[in-house]
Amino acid sequence: MQIKKVIICMAILVGLAGADTRAFELMLPRVYDEGMAVSNWLMSEKLDGVRGYWDGRQLFSKNGTLFHAPPAFTRNFPDFAVEGEIWGGRNTFEKTAGIVRQQEAHDGWLALKFAVFDVPTAGGGFENRLRKAADWFDRHPSDHAFVIEHRPVESHAHVSQELKRIEALGGEGLILRRRGSLYTAGRSRDILKVKSYADMEAVVVAHLSGKGRNEGRMGSLVVELPGSRTRFKIGTGFSDATRENPPPVGTLITFKHYGFYQSGIPKFPSFLRVRDDF
C-alpha cells in the first residue's frame, strides 16, 4: 500500500511538472524574394513581439510554455485557438519579453496587446480563418486584443514602399500572406517575412570593455556562429540597459547583418536581442 502511494504521488508530480508546457506545430514564414509574383498576396506589419498561442483557455509561447497572463488581460478572448504576437509597441521587445517571462500574473501585462494573425484550427483559407477572429472580437470587444489588418499587395514597388514606411516608424518589417492559403505546420511558402536586412544567431564567447561614453561597461560582444569557428565583434544595437547587464557568455543572441565578407564574417552586424525561446 505504501509503495502504491509513493508511485501515485510521483505520477502526480510528473504530471504537474509537465503541465506548463505543450507542443504546437506552428506555421512559420519563409523569406520574401522579389522574383516571385505578388498579385495574390496580402501584407501587414511584422510586429516585433513575443509569439503567443491561445488555446481557448490559456496562453502559451510558441514552444508550449505557459504564460502567466492575468485574467484582466485574457478577458473576452475566444473559446477557440488563435495565434498572435504579444506586443508592447515598436522598439519594446526587451520590455515585453521581461513582462511575459515572469512566473506569476502581474499588472505589467496590461501594457501589452495580443495582436491576432491566424486561427489555426479553423477551416478554409487565410481570410476566412482571420474573419472568424474578427467576428468574435466584434461581438466580444477586448481591451488587450485586436486582429492585425492586412492589405492587398499591388506590386514589388508597393512592398518596398510600405517596408520603408514601417521602418521609418521604427517597425521591424512586413509579413506577406497568400490569399486563400490553408494553415500548414512548418516553413510555408504561403507566408513570407520582408526585411531590409537578414538576421541570424550567434553565441556570446566574450565581453569587451567599452571606451568613451561606454567606459566602465560592455562596449562590444565577441560572438561565434553556431557550427563554425567564425568569430567577430558586435558593437552596435545595444541599449544602455544591455550594456550595463550584457548577455552572459554562452547565451544565444540574434543579430542583423547585410550579407557576408569573403571570410564568412557578417557585414555590419548589429545586436537585436537575446534569443528567447521561452
Q: Is 233 a catalytic residue?
A: no
For 3, the 3-state DSSP assignment is: helix
Helix, strand, coil percent values for the chain (each to nearest 5): 25, 35, 40
Cell of 107: 499588472
Cβ(129)–Cβ(119) under 8 Å? yes
Q: Which of 4, 5, 46, 193 is catalytic?
A: 46
Amino acid identity, position 226: P
Cell of 85: 504576437
Q: Smallest Cα–Cα separation from 133: which of 57, 61, 82, 175?
A: 82
d(C-alpha 247, C-alpha 235), whole Å: 13
Catalytic residues: 46
